[in-house]
């Protein structure tokens, strides 16, 4: 890592009250796969492995926090709450507050198509940051960081709705007709670094809604939200609410 890059990363850590002994870990956390792809033959590693680790660490810390903070809630509710906290949109919001986007190393195509502010890129980088911080400083530092940056602001992320529309629409479909919903990818377009997916959700072979997203999971959640709103409205009319 050159001095200019390290100085840039130090400005990030100073601004966000983080300490790193090994700045190579932080550099990797902010290295998008497209940057590595466009620099073949050079010793760059993408943030995908750190993202994998960070996802697990983040899930564990959030689960413990919810377990201790919401003592009356059953397992099913806690699971939905955790899904809302660690979802892509929430993590991207936190990443924007930390201004992670300006420190990302991106491929040229990703840069030109808005990758620096793309939800998926920001959420992945945030998870990779957690993985890097865990390896460098340990779990207690990670817990403190997440408490300051994420957990203390949970009331801003609509936990009452849990954010997991795939679970919610399944529950209401079972209630209405005792059937499971199904998902299928209708189409995908765009280059590998900027895919756009269109997902459909069906009930009893009837297409309920279509959603768009930068990942299959995001597209399915978007479709599930539309289907949930529609089914919930019909259910209320049927019950005279």
Q: How many angstroms separate the CA atoms of 194 and 172, rounded?
A: 33
Helix, coil or strand: residue 209? strand
Q: How many angstroms separate the CA atoms of 179 and 21, rounded?
A: 53
What's 240's DSSP letter?
T
- The residues that are catalytic are 55, 127
* Residue carrying the six token digits 């590595």: 36
Residue-wise pLDDT for 37-55, tens only, equals 888 766 788 999 999 999 9
Give me 28's structure tokens: 């990797």
How large is the average pLDDT for residues 77-87?
83
Helix, coil or strand: residue 34? helix
Residue-wise pLDDT for 169-191, tens only, equals 888 888 888 889 999 999 999 87
Tell me how many degrees the CA angle 215-182-81 measures, rounded to the nearest 5: 65
CATH topology of domain 3-161: Ribonuclease iii, N-terminal Endonuclease Domain; Chain A (1.10.1520)
Average pLDDT, the chain: 87
What's 106's DSSP letter?
-
Residue 239 pLDDT greater than 70, yes or no? no
Residue 141 pLDDT greater than 50, yes or no? yes
CATH topology of domain 165-238: Double Stranded RNA Binding Domain (3.30.160)
Q: Is the pTM of this model over 0.75?
A: no
What is residue 151's predicted lDDT score, i.e. its pLDDT?
Answer: 86
Q: How many angstroms separate the CA atoms of 180 and 188, rounded?
A: 24
- Sequence spans of domains, the chain: 3-161, 165-238
pLDDT band per the 50, 70, 90 thresholds, residue 70: confident
Helix, coil or strand: residue 87? coil
Q: How many angstroms separate the CA atoms of 152 and 88, rounded?
A: 18
What is residue 19's predicted lDDT score, i.e. its pLDDT?
Answer: 93
What is residue 89's predicted lDDT score, i.e. its pLDDT?
Answer: 83
């Amino acid at each position: 890592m050159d001095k200019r890059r390290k100085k840039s990363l130090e400005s990030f850590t100073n601004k966000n009250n983080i300490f790193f002994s090994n700045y190579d870990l932080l550099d990797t956390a902010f290295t998008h796969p497209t940057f590595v792809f466009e620099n073949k033959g050079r010793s760059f590693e993408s943030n995908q492995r750190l993202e994998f680790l960070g996802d697990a660490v983040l899930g564990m810390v959030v689960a413990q926090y919810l377990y201790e903070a919401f003592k009356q809630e059953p397992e099913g509710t806690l699971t939905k709450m955790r899904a809302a906290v660690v979802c892509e949109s929430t993590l991207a919001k936190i990443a924007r507050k930390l201004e992670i986007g300006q420190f990302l190393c991106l491929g040229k195509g990703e840069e030109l198509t808005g990758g620096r502010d793309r939800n998926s890129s920001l959420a992945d980088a945030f998870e990779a940051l957690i993985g890097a911080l865990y390896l460098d400083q340990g779990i207690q530092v990670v817990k403190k960081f997440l408490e300051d940056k994420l957990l203390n602001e949970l009331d801003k992320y609509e936990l009452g709705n849990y954010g997991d529309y795939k679970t919610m629409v399944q529950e209401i479909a079972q209630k209405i007709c005792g059937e499971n919903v199904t998902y299928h990818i209708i189409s995908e377009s765009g280059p590998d670094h900027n895919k756009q997916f269109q997902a459909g959700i069906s009930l009893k072979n009837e297409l309920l809604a279509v959603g768009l997203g930068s990942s299959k999971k995001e597209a399915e959640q978007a479709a599930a939200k539309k289907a949930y709103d529609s089914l919930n409205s019909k259910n209320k009319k049927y019950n005279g609410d």
